[in-house]
Chains A and B, each alone.
Chain A
Amino acid sequence: MVPLLFYAACAVASAGLLLLLMAKAGTGEHGRAKRVAASLIGLAGIAWILVLIVQAIPVPDNSLGQLGLILLCSFISIAAAVRVITHHRPVFCALYFVLVVLSGAATFVLLSAEFVAFALVIVYAGAILITYLFVLMLAQQTPADLNGSDAVNYDSIPREPASAVIAGFVLVAVLGGAVFGADRSPARATIDQARAIEGAWYDLAWMPRTLTEQARRVDPTVIAIVPEANGHLLRVQPDHSALVRVQHSDGRPASTITLPPSLLPDNTSRVGMALVTRFPVSLELAGVILLMAMLGAVVLARRTVESTTTTASRESNA
C-alpha cells in the first residue's frame, strides 16, 4: 500500500521537474508563471514523499528536533539539486551545487559523521568546485557568440527532457521503494550498538598512549596501563564501560579502574583507525589513483600547450 502511494508521490515530483525543464524555453511573464507552477508541483511531490516516509515509520518523541533538522537539510539539498539541473547559467549551477554540498555536510553532522562532513566541505566546496569555476571561466562564451546563431542556446534548451525524467523516475521509485522494505528491528539495533562500542574500545586499545591519557582523566595518578593475563589492555563491560588495570605514581599496588563510555574515541579517531587498520591497501590504492590522475592531467595539459605553440609558430611564420 505504502509503496503505491510512494510511486504516486514520485510521479508528481517528476511531473513537476519535467514541466520545469520544458518551461525554461518560454520567457517573459507567461514563462515565469509556468515556472512557478511547475516548481509548486515539484515541491508538493517532494513534500509528499517525505511525509510518507515519516508516517510509515514511528518516530520517538525525543528525536523530533533532529528529525526536523534532517528534513530541513534534505529539503534544501533537493531544491538546490533541482536548480543545478534546471538553471540556464553554468556559474549559478556550480554555486547551487555548493549549496547541495553544504546541506549534505549538515546532514552528515546530524548523522554523526563529523570528519567526513568537514572533509566534504573542504574537498568538494573548497577544491573541486573552484576547479569547475576556473574551467567555466576558461571556456566562457563571449557575448558576441551568445547573440549569434542557434547553437548558443544549448544551456537553456534541455535534450530529451521527457525520457530523462522517466529514467530518473524509475530509478528513484525502485531505490526509494527499498526504504519501506528495510528491516530495522530494535533488537538488531541493540546488537549493532554493543558491537560498535566494543569495537571502539578496542580501537582505543590500539593506541596505548591515548588510552593512558583517558585513564588519567578518571584517576590523575595513573602512570601506565598493565595488560591483562590474556594480553588485552582492557575488558569491555555489558554496561558499555571498560575496565583497565593501571599502575599508580604514588606507589599503590596496581588496581583496576572503570572507564565510562564518555571516554570512547571520537569520530575522527575511529575513521583514522579504520583507515590504517582495516583498509590499508585501499588507502595505498587511493594514493595510486590520485597519482595517475595527476599524471593524466599533466599529459592532457602538455598536449594543449604543444598545439597552441605550434599554431602560434605557424602564424608567426606566415
Chain B
Amino acid sequence: MNDALSSAFTIIAPAQISIALAVSAILFGLGLIGFLCRRNMIIMFLCTELMFQGAALAMVAFARMRMDVSGQVFVIFILTVAAAEAALALGLVVLLYRRRETLNSEVWSELGES
C-alpha cells in the first residue's frame, strides 16, 4: 500500500502561490484595461470574463495555500454567475445591435429614447 500523501495535501512552495496570485492580478488588470479602452460591446463583456478568470485564479491559489476546498467551491459559483451574466449581457447586446446596427459602444454614450 502506498503511504505517500496525494499532491493535494503536500505543502506547496510559496513561490508557486505568489506567481499564481500575481498572474491573477495581471489578468484582472488586463481585463479592466480592455473594458475601459475597447469600443466593441461584445469585447467589453469578454473583458469582464477575463476579470472573472483572474478572480477565479486567486481563489484557487488561496484554496491550494490553505489546502481548503472552499475557494474551489467559490470558483464554481463564479462560473454560475459568469454563465448567467453571459446569457443576459449577450441578449442585451443583440437587442442594442438591432436598434443601431452597430456594436460601437460610443453610439450609446447618451442615454435616452431614440
A67 in contact with B30 (CB, 8 Å): no
Tell whether A4 is near chain B: CB-to-CB under 8 Å: no
Q: In the complex where A107-B57, A124-B79, A171-B28 touch, is A164 in contact with B36 (Cβ < 8 A)?
A: yes
Separation of A261 and B2 alpha carbons in the complex (Å): 8
Interface SS, A side: helix
A172 in contact with B26 (CB, 8 Å): yes
B60 in contact with A49 (CB, 8 Å): no
B32 in contact with A168 (CB, 8 Å): yes
Residues on the A chain within 8 Å of B92, using CB: 300
A84 in contact with B22 (CB, 8 Å): no
Contact pick for B39, options A50, A131, A159, CB 8 Å:
A159
Contact pick for A78, options B6, B10, B30, B98, CB 8 Å:
B30
A97 in contact with B87 (CB, 8 Å): no
How many A residues touch B, CB cutoff 8 Å?
117
Q: Mark A183-211, 1 if CB is under 8 A from B, else 0.
A: 01010011011011101100000000000
Q: Which among B21, B91, B104 has the greatest number of chain A C-beta atoms within 10 A?
A: B91
Q: List CB contacts (< 8 Å) of B54-69 with chain A.
A: 56-57, 60-61, 63-69
Q: List CB contacts (< 8 Å) of B77-100 with chain A.
A: 77, 79-88, 90-95, 97-98
Separation of A84 and B81 alpha carbons in the complex (Å): 21
Task: Kindly report which residue of chain A lies nearest to residue B96, judged by CB atoms.
Answer: A139
Task: Kindly report which residue of chain B lies nearest to residue A308, judged by CB atoms.
Answer: B98
Q: In the complex where A111-B20, A113-B63, A176-B22 touch, is A190 in contact with B11 (Cβ < 8 A)?
A: yes
Q: Which among B22, B60, B82 has the greatest number of chain A C-beta atoms within 10 A?
A: B22
A-B contact count (CB 8 A): 322
B73 in contact with A271 (CB, 8 Å): yes
Q: In the complex where A54-B19, A131-B86, A179-B21 touch, is A193 in contact with B67 (Cβ < 8 A)?
A: yes
Tell whether B37 is near chain A: CB-to-CB under 8 Å: yes
Task: Kindly report which residue of chain B lies nearest to residue A196, judged by CB atoms.
Answer: B67
Interface size grouping (class) on chain B: 35 or more
Interface pick from A33-41, A56-64, A229-237, A242-250: A56-64
Tell whether A309 is near chain B: CB-to-CB under 8 Å: no
B50 in contact with A197 (CB, 8 Å): no
Q: Mark A100-131, 1 if CB is under 8 A from B, else 0.
A: 11001001101111011001100110011001
Q: In the complex where A57-B14, A286-B77 touch, is A85 in contact with B47 (Cβ < 8 A)?
A: yes
Contact pick for B43, options A93, A116, A267, CB 8 Å:
A93
A165 in contact with B33 (CB, 8 Å): yes
Chain B min CB distance to A86 (Å): 8
Separation of A308 and B97 alpha carbons in the complex (Å): 13
The 5 closest A-B pairs by CB, nearest first: A85-B34, A293-B84, A196-B67, A164-B36, A175-B25
Where the two chains meet, the residues of A that have a C-beta atom closer than 8 Å to any C-beta of B are: 17, 21, 46, 49-50, 53-54, 56-60, 63, 66-67, 70-71, 74, 77-78, 81-82, 84-85, 90, 93-94, 97, 100-101, 104, 107-108, 110-113, 115-116, 119-120, 123-124, 127-128, 131-132, 135-136, 138-139, 141, 151-152, 154-155, 157-161, 163-165, 167-169, 171-172, 175-176, 178-180, 182, 184, 186, 189-190, 192-193, 195-197, 199-200, 217-218, 240-241, 260-262, 264, 266-267, 270-271, 274-275, 278-279, 282, 286, 289-290, 292-294, 296-297, 300-301, 303-304, 307-308
